[in-house]
Amino acid sequence: MTTASPHSHNAPVMPAEPTQARRFGKARTARSAALTEDYVELIADLHASAGEARPTDIARRLGVAHATVAKTVGRLKREGLVVAKPYRGIFLTREGEALAARVRARHRLVVDLLRAVGVPAEAAEQDAEGIEHHVSQATLKAFARFLGDRSRPPTAG
């Protein structure tokens, strides 16, 4: 029995090194941004539904320790996305509100696309939590175009 050499016709075609490095770099950046985006989106949602965003509520909803929330909120404060008021919770700045709105719109677009291709509602919501942080603007525009085309009535031929 012989094994295929790495140069055989069955071996995967590797992208150029700079291309592959750029792709992996984009994924690392997206993972880092995902945490920030999840926090600002959750803070906005808590304010909309409960009127406040307390560190305890954030910790419970994200399934993390209170200390993790405190550390992350400190970073978000330094980045100018939130302010924390003693005994009043955490509030988004204008920049934080703008980011939360962009994240929410992107989430809805990804969910809508997944639902349009037949993914059940709960699976679409869950999958969108991962996908939404990794799609490019070009992909989001294609999603919107696809959904827009599907909502138009067919033209008479």
CATH class of 22-151: mainly alpha
pLDDT digits (tens, 9 = 90+) for 142-157: 999 999 977 555 444 4
Helices 17-50 and 55-62 pack at an angle, to 10 degrees, of 130
Confidence of residue 33 (pLDDT cuts 50, 70, 90): confident
Q: Write down the domain spans for the chain.
A: 22-151
pLDDT (tens digit per residue) in 39-88: 999 999 999 999 999 999 999 999 999 999 999 999 999 999 999 988 88
| Helix/strand/coil (H/E/C) assignment for every residue in the chain | CCCCCCCCCCCCCCCCHHHHHHHHHHHHHHHHHHHHHHHHHHHHHHHHHHCCCCHHHHHHHHCCCHHHHHHHHHHHHHCCCEEEECCCEEEECHHHHHHHHHHHHHHHHHHHHHHHCCCCHHHHHHHHHHHCCCCCHHHHHHHHHHHHHHHCCCCCC
- Distance separating the N- and C-terminal Cα atoms of the chain: 59
pTM of the model: 0.74
Which percentage of the chain shows pLDDT scores above 70? 83
